[in-house]
Amino acid sequence: MSPLPTYDVAVVGLGAMGSAALYQLARRGARAIGLDRFAPPHERGSSHGETRITRQAIGEGEAYVPLALRAHAIWRELEAATGETLLVEAGCLIISREDDQVERRARTGFIQRTIRAAERYGISHEVLNAAELAYRHPQFILRGDESAYFEPGAGYVLPERCIGAQIGEAERLGAQVRLGTVVERIVPEHGAVRIETSAGTLLAGEVIVSAGAWAGALLGGRFARLLEPQRQMLHWFAIEPDAVPLWERSPAYIWPHGESLDDFFYGFPALHGSASLKTANEQYDALVDPNDFDRVVSAAESRAMFEANLKGRLRGIRPDVVRSATCLYTVTPDSAFLIDRHPEAPRILVVSPCSGHGFKHSAAIGEAAAEIAITGRSTVDLSAFAVSRFDTAGGTPSTGANG
């Protein structure tokens, strides 16, 4: 019998986190393999949709800031290596009532928390009152009681390009990639981990599970309860012709409003030549099966998005839908990341259940995962994202990044 193929590290799932981890492993000379059930970049999971907001001062928790800062540096390194444009510093606005304390997942008091993070880490920013915001960015229709945080070094990343660049560089540096390969079981053995796939079995000294919405079912046990895939929607609305230049010059934006969790949306500048505006809100509804859920955004869903969020707030945007898509959030009970070794199988590192706000950090998370797999520790402190925070009765967090 031929010996099984053996690797230092296997990466399961090559989306945002997995492609970054494989690239960083290859940079460090590890004998690494990446496995994915599809052919990333693809539209089946969480890491697509043309653009993703990136910020450096993170209102969801200051533990994220070092990851965001490092991710920006890595994307610039990748741009230099590949010639690709990955990060666009168009700036980002957070618009909110200054005293907003509506309970939102990881975002209660969002603008004030963001300002504190920027001040602590010396991140360039401005705080604008409603009059200043209206003068600089007349595309936003204000009530007059809003303020805004503006971060010039923020903007957006291009997710499909980021993933493609990292996988391409990983292969160039010697990593192997198997696409269209379903990982069926991960079994710890003495001194290694056996990985059973639809294309055969292999062994690895360490395994990084960055399978997003498929991670809970693959890992089983408590992870199946902690990691909940949720259906999300992306919408592209038409822009009135005379408003196109204004939106092409716009920063990205995040806008909590109203009195409920659902009163929240975000969006992007219009990409040149598109004459459309990408925007989205967030839904935390029933758990979905990532292999079997409705991937079509209905006309009624887009209309509801426009009426509840865009109408009366964004100037020059029509209700006509140019395009729509779904993606998946894999959400933990506290909406914080989960990056930690499996408590019963320490050769398995669980990475990437990032609750919908992970792409901006992904390049640095991949680097941290590679460091842990090779040296046993990460340069960035990841203690806020440990699985042990869910060890209280009922699985609610005892500590976390967002407290």
- Residue 398 reports pLDDT greater than 90: no
pLDDT digits (tens, 9 = 90+) for 49-96: 999 999 999 999 999 999 999 999 999 999 999 999 999 999 999 999
Q: Identify whether the C-beta of residue 324 lies closer than 8 Å to the C-beta of residue 276.
A: no
- % helix, strand, coil for the chain, step of 5: 30, 30, 40
pLDDT band, very low/low/confident/very high, at 399 (cuts 50, 70, 90)? very low
Phi/psi at 130 (5° precision):
-60, -40
Instruction: Residue 217: name the closest of 195, 188, 180, 186 by CA.
Output: 186
Percent of the residues in the chain that have a pLDDT greater than 90, as a whole number: 91
Mean pLDDT of 90-111: 92
CATH number listed for the domain at residues 6-48+159-227+334-395: 3.50.50.60
Sequence ranges of the domains in the chain = 6-48+159-227+334-395, 92-152+228-331
- pLDDT tier, 105 (very low <50, low <70, confident <90, very high otherwise): confident
Pick the CATH number of 92-152+228-331 from 3.20.20.80, 3.30.9.10, 3.40.50.11890, 1.10.357.10: 3.30.9.10
**b/e map of 221-260 (b: 16 or more CB within 10 Å)?**
ebbeebbbbbbbbbbbbbbeeebbebbbebbbbbbbbeee
Q: Which residues contact 93 (CB under 8 A, 6 or more apart)?
A: 133, 137, 140, 148, 149, 150, 251, 252, 253, 254
Contact 216, 226 (CB under 8 A): yes
274-306: pLDDT as tens digits: 999 999 999 887 789 999 999 999 999 999 999
Asked if the domains 6-48+159-227+334-395 and 92-152+228-331 are classified in one and the same CATH topology, the answer is: no
Both tokens of 388, joined, read 């042990």
Cβ–Cβ under 8 Å, residues 53 and 41 = no
What's the angle, vertex CA 160, arms to CA 176 and CA 53, rounded to 5? Answer: 130
pLDDT band at 1; cut points 50, 70, 90: low
* Predicted local distance difference test score (pLDDT) of residue 394: 45
